[in-house]
Amino acid sequence: MKFKIFFLTPLLAFPALAAPGFAENPAHVRQLRETKKCAKCDLSGVDLRGYNLTAADLTGANLIGANLSNANLESARLSRANMAEVNLSNANLSRANLGGANLIEANLSKTNLSNADLTYANLVGANMVGAQLIDTDLSAANLVGVDLSQTDVTSANLFGANLTGTLGLPLPLLPLRNAPSQNPPLPRPDQLQRESGFDRRYQPPSTGRPTPTQGSRTRGGGEYRPPRGIGRPARTESGGTRQRETPNIQPR
């Protein structure tokens, strides 16, 4: 009797372990396209190139690695959004609210950021070559290592911003020695004296010997002179020390 032994080897389908990447939530993408309101949505890696997102609400949304180049995000709300490595080149973000947004290594080249709010935004290593920063508020923003080449920042608010290692930042223009000054020259002391009638020049004190005053010791070395009219001590009527009158002794 022959026994045939069959070894049944089940095929186990192991899911492929892909490298971590960006994958958006399809329901969130559909919600954004239909309503333009997707606060705190997962839109990481989404491709919305050239899409019209005017006044969209993306507060606190996850946009890591998203492609929003040439998109219209005018007046959009993107405060506290995570936009690390996002592509916003040639996008319109004028009057957008990006306060506190994370824009580490974001591509903002030739992006219109006029009148945008970027206060407290994290822009470490971002590319802002040729970006429009007309009246952009970048106060207290982190601009470490940002490339601002070909970018006009004269009208931007950089109060309190961290500009360590910022590239392409123009130095403030220093006035030339022979250049005409915009401020009027200060008046001379003699001119002030003639105009006000008061001599503002320093007048040295008199070097003569000071005259001793009565009842005080002078600083010029004069001796002490008691004031006139001081009589003999009399008996006090109060409860203080009892003093006896000095007898008037006539000389012989």
The tens digit of pLDDT for each residue in 149-202 reads: 888 888 999 999 999 999 887 765 334 344 444 555 555 555 555 554 545 455
Instruction: Supply 211's token pair.
Output: 């005259």
Q: What is the pLDDT of residues 57-87, one digit of tens each?
A: 999 999 999 999 999 999 999 999 999 999 9
CA distance linking residue 88 with residue 112, whole number of Å: 10
Phi, psi of 33 (to 5 degrees): -70, -30
Q: What is the pLDDT of residues 123-153, one digit of tens each?
A: 999 999 999 999 999 999 999 999 898 888 8
R_g (Cα) of the chain, nearest Å: 42
Q: Give the 3-state secondary structure of residue 225.
A: coil
d(CA 99, CA 62): 15
pLDDT, position 83: 97
The C-alpha atoms of residue 219 and residue 141 are separated, in whole angstroms, by 62
Mean predicted confidence (pLDDT) in 192-213: 53
Give 24-34 pLDDT, tens digit per residue.
789 999 999 99
Q: Classify residue 141 as left (phi > 0), alpha (psi -120 to 50) or beta.
A: beta
Print burial letters for 207-222: b (CB count within 10 Å at least 16), e (below 16).
eeeeeeeeeeeeeeee
pLDDT at residue 144, as a whole number: 94
For the cut 80, the answer to whether the pLDDT of residue 247 exceeds it is no
| Total-model pTM | 0.60
Domains of the chain, first to last? 39-169 (2.160.20.80)
Q: What is the mean pLDDT of the chain?
A: 76
Q: What average pLDDT score do residues 208-235 get?
A: 54
How many residues are recorded in the chain? 252
Q: In whole angstroms, what is the distance from residue 46 CA to residue 20 CA? A: 15
